[in-house]
Amino acid sequence: MAEQPLAGKVALVTGSGRGIGREIALRLARDGADVICHYASSKAGAENTARQIEAMGRKAVLVQADIAKRDEVRAMFAQIDKDPGQLDIVVNNSGVSARGMLAEVKDEDVVRVFGINLYGPLWIASEAATRLSDNGRIINFSSTVAKHSLPGAGLYSAAKRAIESFTESWARELGARGITVNTVIPGATSPGMADSSPDYHDFFAQASPFKRIGKASEIVAVVAFLASPEASWVSGAHILANGAGNT
């Protein structure tokens, strides 16, 4: 039997109904964890993820919430308290982007981008802080544009840079209990936002000496390491996984 470093653990993965979120949920299950599969609107996708997890002999629990809304996050954790009643790993994977130049910024874009990318992880970490087991894990997601912002990506860049600051603060707040808090910083990845247009895909591929964009499995491997017992001395870190790209 393959080694299962997360046997007996329970992981919450936001945005688990598709893309990298699904791949993270499946990898953590393969590593032995039961998985709480969060979704906002993609119930069918989350159910698909859950079926694959259960086929591995692991338990999957579906939870729904608009993570930008604190009351919905609280309700989600009330459900988690009942089933499965345990929490060891939190992966704040959910994210959205909105492109637009400064002069064109719309109120709804600010609410949406900051709500999902910044407030959501904050509300989740706040609820998780008192529920996580000792030696638990919080894994956040940032982006290379947090430090190398591009025209039209100001909102997304600002939200992700704030997440990195939160990561450093939370790592210090929770470290006394052995809880680690880290950020994964992927470059353009498929499946992901890089698939939105051929031009976008090619731009980021050319920015890396590998002349390609990342694979979901390459990002998931970083998450799996940070979730594992082997990462017990890694905290407050921002792990760059972008193929040495310069954007």
Predicted local distance difference test score (pLDDT) of residue 200: 66
Tell me how far apart the alpha carbons of residues 132 and 89 are, in angstroms, rounded to a whole number.
Answer: 7
38 forms bridges with which residues in the sheet? 63
Predicted local distance difference test score (pLDDT) of residue 57: 98
The tokens describing 37, both together, are 């599969």
Predicted local distance difference test score (pLDDT) of residue 196: 66
Peptide bond into 198 cis (omega under 30): no
Predicted local distance difference test score (pLDDT) of residue 40: 97
Sheet holding 89-92, edge to edge: 60-64, 34-39, 10-13, 89-92, 137-141, 180-186, 238-241
In 3D space, the residue among 185, 183, 181 whose CA is nearest the CA of residue 218 turns out to be: 185
Buried b (16+ CB within 10 A) or exposed e, 51-78: ebbeeeebbbbbbbbbbbebebbeebbe
Predicted local distance difference test score (pLDDT) of residue 100: 82
Ordered domains of the chain (ranges, CATH): 10-238 (3.40.50.720)
Q: Which residues are catalytic?
A: 142-143, 156, 160
Look up the pTM and report it: 0.94
Whether 73 contacts 65, CB under 8 Å: yes
Predicted local distance difference test score (pLDDT) of residue 194: 66
| Per-residue tens of pLDDT for the chain, all 247 residues | 468 999 999 999 999 999 999 999 999 999 999 999 999 999 999 999 999 999 999 999 999 999 999 999 999 999 999 999 999 999 999 998 888 888 888 999 999 999 999 999 999 999 999 999 999 999 999 998 888 777 888 899 999 999 999 999 999 999 999 999 999 999 888 776 666 667 767 877 887 888 888 899 999 999 999 999 999 999 999 999 989 886 6
Tell me how far apart the alpha carbons of residues 103 and 62 are, in angstroms, rounded to a whole number.
Answer: 40
